[in-house]
Amino acid sequence: MPQIRFVVFDMDEVLYDYDHAKRLGLLEKLTGRPASEIDAALWGGPEESRAEAGSPATPEGYLTQYAQLLGYPIDFDTWADIRRQMMRPRPDVLDLVRRLGKKTDLALLTNNGMLLKPALPVCAPEAAAIFGEKAHVSAEFRARKPDPVIYHRICGKYGYEPAESAFVDDRKANVEGAEQAGLTGHVYTSHDELLRFLEFHGLV
């Protein structure tokens, strides 16, 4: 079994609770538009998936597209604060990742557009502190999970072979994509199961 030297983590529903209904409620209160319409406009079409794959290619371009779809002139600070309010950190998992980081190189990889990158210190300060410059949104790699190419690209960026890398995500399809790329995968279900996975591989 190859030694794992690099572990990549998903963010939402692994390191943080992710409350999409709360986000919709906040956007409804902001705009006066029904939450169901907002959901369909922002996440019902192809735009978000394209953004996660790098188009628009800038935070400013993403925010412009988001405001157009929302039908409301939202700014960065408001967008980031709503994203912050819909997330809740999981202290036990974050502590485990901090512990892991003392022995192993780490990165974060979340399917998101470019706007989340500068917003991470606002909405996910714990993750921003743990991963630093190695906190990534999929748009940076011009691909999105579960496309195997994104796992090759993040491993290559930091000089690791897929065989010496691991990937943790709550979505089975994303983990299967990583495994197709040659990484060791773990489908996150709980802190305790993650701990067992890391212990089995001698990482903690």
Where are the chain's structural domains? 6-17+89-200, 18-85
Three-point CA angle 25, 77, 20, nearest 5°: 30
Share of the chain above pLDDT 70, in %: 100
- Average pLDDT value for residue range 172-190: 98
Q: What tens digit of pLDDT does each residue of 84-135 get?
A: 999 999 999 999 999 999 999 999 999 999 999 999 999 999 999 999 999 9
- Average pLDDT value for residue range 133-156: 98
Q: Token digits for 149?
A: 């190419």
Q: Which stretch of DSSP H or E encloses residue 200? A: helix 191-200
- Average pLDDT value for residue range 3-23: 98
**The CATH number of domain 6-17+89-200 is 3.40.50.1000:** yes
Residue matched to tokens 């079994």? 1
Strand, helix or coil at 56? coil
- Confidence band for 139, pLDDT divided at 50, 70 and 90: very high
How many Å apart are CA 178 and CA 52, to the nearest integer?
17
Where does residue 24 rank: exposed (0-12), middle (13-18), buried (19+ CB within 10 A)? buried
| DSSP-assigned letter for residue 14 | T
The structure's pTM equals 0.96
Are 162 and 181 in contact, with CB atoms under 8 Å apart?
yes
Q: What tens digit of pLDDT does each residue of 49-81 get?
A: 999 999 999 999 999 999 999 999 999 999 999
- Confidence band for 1, pLDDT divided at 50, 70 and 90: low
